[in-house]
Amino acid sequence: MMTVEQVLAAQKANVETLLGLTAKAFEGVEKIVELNMSASKAALAESGENAKALLSVKDAQELLALQSGLLQPLAEKTAAYSRHLYEIATGTTSEFTKTMESQAADAQQKFAGLIDSAAKNAPAGSETAVAVMKSAVAAANNALESVQKAVKQATDVAEANFNAVANTAVNAAKPAAKKR
């Protein structure tokens, strides 16, 4: 049975964890706002420069060359923006995952301690029930580890796919820009 001090300590730890996660969430939002502000400023400045360049065009051939020159940087900037946004999202998610894994590991450890304590104080003849309980806890821990590994692998595959798609988009824009 937990003492009042243990309950208070657990509650304090939970509140600190929640505050830490909230701070990380706000950090992620701040980074996204900063990214969007930077991208908006850059887009506004480039739009002005592009408008000036379009107004100085003298013939159709020059217009096509100007359009071609704008296509590649746009694809690269879009890919860079998407990559940066993805990094912010995965970084924030990673912090949440680490905290949850840490909390889960702590809970598993406490529960295992509780099972051991119960086993030591179990009445004679209940060894089989205790063994079954320990086996069930071990199986649950193994299942949780398997799920965590699967999520990590899926995240790695998703990141690799995202990077491949972004690179393909940029590379596809290169020949299109050169053809014009």
Confidence band (pLDDT; 50, 70, 90) for 59?
Answer: confident
pLDDT in tens, 125-177: 777 777 777 777 777 777 767 776 777 777 777 777 777 776 776 676 666 55
Are the CB atoms for 132 and 54 separated by under 8 Å? no
Query: CA 84, CA 61: separation in Å to the nearest integer?
Result: 35
Q: Own/partner pairs for 67-73, CB < 8 Å, 24+ apart?
A: 67/180, 68/177, 68/178, 68/179, 68/180, 69/177, 71/173, 71/176, 71/177, 71/180, 72/173, 72/174, 72/177
Are the CB atoms for 45 and 136 separated by under 8 Å? no
Q: What is the pTM of this model?
A: 0.55
Q: Name the residue with higher pLDDT: 50 or 160.
A: 50
